[in-house]
Amino acid sequence: MVERECTKKSKAFLSLKDVYENRERSVAGIKASGKKVIWTFGGNVPDEVIYAAGMVPVRGWGCPRPWPEADKYLELSFGDMWRSLFESIMNGERRGLMDGLVFSSNLTMLGKLYSYISTISAREPERGLPKTALIDYEVMDQSYIFFDRNCLNTQEFAGLMEQWSGIKITDEALHEAIATYNEYRQALRAFLDLRRGENCR
């Protein structure tokens, strides 16, 4: 990505760039504050529930080659992105930054990664892999036929997050988390709007 000269003078941009390029330091700072960090994978993970349980959801990221763990466990149908994420979880270098892993089922490969990692964790407990969870939402249609099931899945997930954190999710905490993440999503939309137009930034 080529940076414009104006971005180099923007405190907001430089702050964002610093966090992105130093994610490990940023997440370590969250851990140092006493919060548990949950790595999430996929767009359907209900971050609000994790946040309401007193933990911080962080979008998982991969690592550069080599990927010995991925080469050992994954077949060739897993592309580079998936192998990179798998290696980041498995190789132990970032283990201290992960208190749990949550995968969503909106992509087939995410479901497979969840299955592989949870199976390896059960068969090789000495590896000390993080706890794993899968949030399995059905795609909604106009009849809302899957609405009840998705609500039940969310309730079950909330119960699991309470177990992981040791904190009861109250209605007040959940409402506050929803408001926080709605504000966050709106900020993302406003940020993306800056990329549109004749003189976009």
pLDDT computed for residue 162 by the predictor: 98
Cα–Cα–Cα angle for 83, 89, 91, nearest 5°?
90
pLDDT computed for residue 201 by the predictor: 59
CA distance 136 to 24: 28
pLDDT computed for residue 10 by the predictor: 85
Range from 10-14, 50-54, 72-76, 176-180 carrying the lowest mean pLDDT:
10-14
User: Tokens at residue 109, please?
Assistant: 């490969």
Digit-coded pLDDT (tens) for 112-171: 999 999 999 999 999 999 999 999 987 767 777 788 889 999 999 999 999 999 999 999
CA distance 185 to 181: 6
The pTM of the full predicted model, rounded to 2 decimals, is: 0.91
